[in-house]
Structure 1
Amino acid sequence: MLPSRLRLTSNRLQIILQHLRMSGQKAPDAEVLLEKHGCSGLITLNRPKALNALNLNMSRLIYNQLKLWEEDPETFLVIIKGAGGKAFCAGGDIIAITEAGKTGAPLAQDFFKEEYILNNAIGTYKKPYVALIDGITMGGGVGLSVHGHFRVASERTLFAMPETAIGLFPDVGGGYFLPRLPGKIGLFIALTGFRLKGRDVQKAGIATHFVDSQKIPSLEKDLITLKCPSKEDIIDVLNAYHNESSASEDLPFILAECLDKINSLFSGNSVEEIIDNLKQDGSPFANQQLKILSKMSPTSLKITFRQLKNGSSLTLQEVLTMEYRLSQASMSGHDFYEGVRAMLIDKDQNPKWKPEELKEVTDKYLDSCFASLGGRDLIL
């Protein structure tokens, strides 16, 4: 075994070499930029034309760098943001995953597995992690942000988990954070794909802070220039910017008038019960939700309901293991491919779900989706 002094020298050398290698990720066309500024590590998702959609290469680069910064005694803070001004991250690279799934290519397993491993690394990170979700934040972008210590929304933030519309389910730890939102807001968002904008993302409990978009660059600069900051120092800066941001401050939460109905109507013991509640209520709000739910994959609705019900009492690691099983069930099913075709490829907005009715999605089939994969299970 190396003497402690030599081990420290070796570790320090590895960190220096890694920082030197990082210069290769600063090229303007790199998919993710990894930079060190003073005491801060800065991650920039750099696929603006694709709304910074996350692919397998990006997941690997981010994960490896996070682990190095976590052990680096000179890194006190990690910031993640998106390039281009429109999106933080609009989701995973779904079309590439679809093509892989059709042919049985390993990407259909590797992408979900490594994305969820990254989600867990963010959720268990030892150092303050700040996600600047200034723009579209959906699907995979939620996984890159919501499990970290701080999420900063702006008036440009558009948050959604729209997976039931493409035959999937709200993954990336959705089964963990959604049921922990107040009341039934999480289940409502998960089933309907409801979109939250701006300050409402913070009012719903998803973002921790709200900052006017024009002040985000200044916030980033102030965070980066902190000298060996403690978590409290970072909170002080975030709170100061939050308190100075006035956009939409006086407007009520967009779901405020509907909260009682959401909490009562979405409290059913099954998707079918929720549908019955909505039909019996008959209000304009209830009728609108019925119309929305009728367009979603029946299989996805039932999987999502059980996912959130189970996830409410599981750890993040247990949820991600469960969701990996569900991802592989989706890859071997019908609705994911049909949903992606209808919504993202042909864009006819007219998916043909199989089965077409909720009653045809059996408990036996659902049990198979949640069943262990044995040696192929995700281990965290």
Structure 2
Amino acid sequence: MAKEPLNANEVVLAEEAGHVSILTLNRPRQLNVISSRVVELVAKYLEKWERDVDIKLVIIKGAGRAFSAGGDLKMFYEGRSGDFCLEVVYRMYWLCYHIHTYTKSMVAIVHGIVMGGGAAMTVPLKFSVVTEKTVFSMPEASIGLHTDCSFSYILPHLPGYLGEYLGLTDAKLCGKDMVALGLATHFVQSEKLDELEKRLLSLNSGDENSVRNVIEEFSMEVLPEEATIINRLQTINKCFCKESLEEIIESFEAEAWYDGNDWIWPVLKGFKRSSPTGLKITLRSIREGRTETLPKSLKKEFRLTMNLLRSVVSDDVYEGIRALSIDKDKAPKWNPATLEEVSNDKVDLAFKPFSAELELQIPAEGRTCRWEGKYEHSVYPSMKGNK
């Protein structure tokens, strides 16, 4: 099989070894954040390998101390005029569908930070390996965005109201918590990762049982008492089942005063500092996700992301990025500034459907048309400069 030369400076590295391919996110100094080039290359290689009858197994990992910290926020900030980021947003949501429905065995090796869009490349896979250094979170609402990249579909399927809790609070999960919740499949100590990867390469097969058996040679069982989030589920369910955000926050704060609930205070502090607009949109999106199909959730998320980047409801997303990644003062000035000022009418604007040709084009079912619906085949390229 012909092998492409490896460019060590490329943001995504692709290697083929027999019947196994390895995809490495390669922006370690930027915590492997997802740029337009990253999305382009990941989609290119996944399509190539799914079509290649010789490739049986795909391994995806991140270089350095993170798997991926999510989307490249500076890219969005610098592209805030016009629809500069429309193409990468479209391509990312289109890619999310293919990751969820990939037809060959994939193993994610998730070492270090994994957030937002980065987690969208690991959680849906048949095999996702985490370590004692893995840290998961969904921080989008805190910067004026929403729970995106298929997580408005994933989070509502977690036990109880954990989905609302994770999407609204930016709470952190460790690797063992992720396994306990089904956000990862196996827990492996980090010093064993190199050996695990070598064994997967030598396996040279994508047979699910064989891959599972190899991973289980290195993995540790996660005991219920080791998963701290499970021990907090009763309190989380009690608070995050409430209908409105105001009621959720009031209930959560009341619970913080009880013995043993000191863990609530730091979570609550971050919760209250988040964008009111981002919080209200996120809550509604997760609640709708409880009854949505994956394609419907992705189309909704595409709409939400574009409406927020277009400042249809507010400029909070750019203010959130400024405070976190540009000026780094961590003092965003939200507009509107309070939950009470974010009306249902404003939230409705963010969810307003596009005309059919402007929606995300999820490919029809069936192998022959599986990779259809690409950005370049949509109406969007022809609209550039015509707005």
The whole-number CA distance in structure 1 between the counterparts of 2:205 and 2:176 is 30
Which residue does the alignment assign to 1:45? 25
Tell me, what secondary structure is at the counterpart of 1:255? helix
Query: TM-score scaled by structure 1?
Result: 0.89
Q: Would the alpha carbon gap of residues 343 and 285 (structure 1) be closer, same or farther in structure 2, given more than 3 Å must change?
A: same
Displacement of 1:276 in angstroms is: 2.8
Which residue does the alignment assign to 1:197? 174
Query: Retained in 2: the 8 A contact 1:69–1:75?
Result: yes
Which residue does the alignment assign to 1:137? 114
> Which AA in structure 1 matches 2:90?
K
Which residue does the alignment assign to 2:46? 66
Q: Would the alpha carbon gap of residues 255 and 229 (structure 1) be closer, same or farther in structure 2, given more than 3 Å must change?
A: closer
The whole-number CA distance in structure 2 between the counterparts of 1:347 and 1:51 is 17
Displacement of 1:260 in angstroms is: 0.8
> Which AA in structure 2 matches 1:364?
D
Tell me, what secondary structure is at the counterpart of 1:145? coil
Deviations 1:272-331 (A, max 9, x none): 221232244452455554433210100011001011011111121111110000101110
The whole-number CA distance in structure 1 between the counterparts of 2:133 and 2:265 is 29
Instruction: Answer yes or no: is 1:376 the counterpart of 2:358.
Output: yes
Deviations 1:161-217 (A, max 9, x none): 111121111211110111111111121111000011232221232111101111111
Q: Which residue, 92, 96, 115 being the options, matches 2:75?
A: 96
Which residue does the alignment assign to 2:192? 215
Identity %: 37
Q: Which residue, 367, 375, 379 being the options, matches 2:348?
A: 367
Spell out structure 1 runs of 4+ moving beyond 4 A: 248-251, 284-289
The whole-number CA distance in structure 2 between the counterparts of 1:115 and 1:277 is 36
Aligned residues: 354
Which residue does the alignment assign to 2:96? 119
Which residue does the alignment assign to 2:285? 307
Displacement of 1:72 in angstroms is: 1.2
Q: Would the alpha carbon gap of residues 73 and 88 (structure 1) be closer, same or farther in structure 2, given more than 3 Å must change?
A: same
Which residue does the alignment assign to 1:3? none
Q: Which residue, 69, 76, 79 being the options, matches 2:59?
A: 79
Deviations 1:106-137 (A, max 9, x none): 3x111111111111111010011111111110
Which residue does the alignment assign to 1:298? 276
Instruction: Answer yes or no: is 1:332 the counterpart of 2:326.
Output: no
Q: Would the alpha carbon gap of residues 286 and 43 (structure 1) be closer, same or farther in structure 2, given more than 3 Å must change?
A: closer
Which residue does the alignment assign to 1:5? none
The whole-number CA distance in structure 1 between the counterparts of 2:212 and 2:227 is 24
Query: Retained in 2: the 8 A contact 1:278–1:287?
Result: no
The whole-number CA distance in structure 1 between the counterparts of 2:162 and 2:128 is 18
Displacement of 1:55 in angstroms is: 0.9
Tell me, what secondary structure is at the counterpart of 2:227? coil
> Which AA in structure 1 matches 2:99?
I
Displacement of 1:226 in angstroms is: 1.2
Q: Would the alpha carbon gap of residues 87 and 289 (structure 1) be closer, same or farther in structure 2, given more than 3 Å must change?
A: closer
Q: Which residue, 247, 255, 272 being the options, matches 2:246?
A: 272
Displacement of 1:342 in angstroms is: 0.8
Query: Retained in 2: the 8 A contact 1:185–1:262?
Result: yes
Q: Which residue, 149, 164, 170 being the options, matches 1:187?
A: 164
Tell me, what secondary structure is at the counterpart of 2:226? coil
The whole-number CA distance in structure 2 between the counterparts of 1:366 and 1:45 is 35
The whole-number CA distance in structure 2 between the counterparts of 1:27 and 1:115 is 23
Superposed counterparts of 1:165-176, under 5 Å: 165-176=142-153
Query: Retained in 1: the 8 A contact 2:169–2:268?
Result: no
> Which AA in structure 2 matches 1:155?
E
The whole-number CA distance in structure 2 between the counterparts of 1:250 and 1:261 is 17
The whole-number CA distance in structure 2 between the counterparts of 1:172 and 1:229 is 26
Query: TM-score scaled by structure 2?
Result: 0.87
Deviations 1:212-247 (A, max 9, x none): 1111111111111113341111111122221xx47x
Q: Would the alpha carbon gap of residues 303 and 240 (structure 1) be closer, same or farther in structure 2, given more than 3 Å must change?
A: same
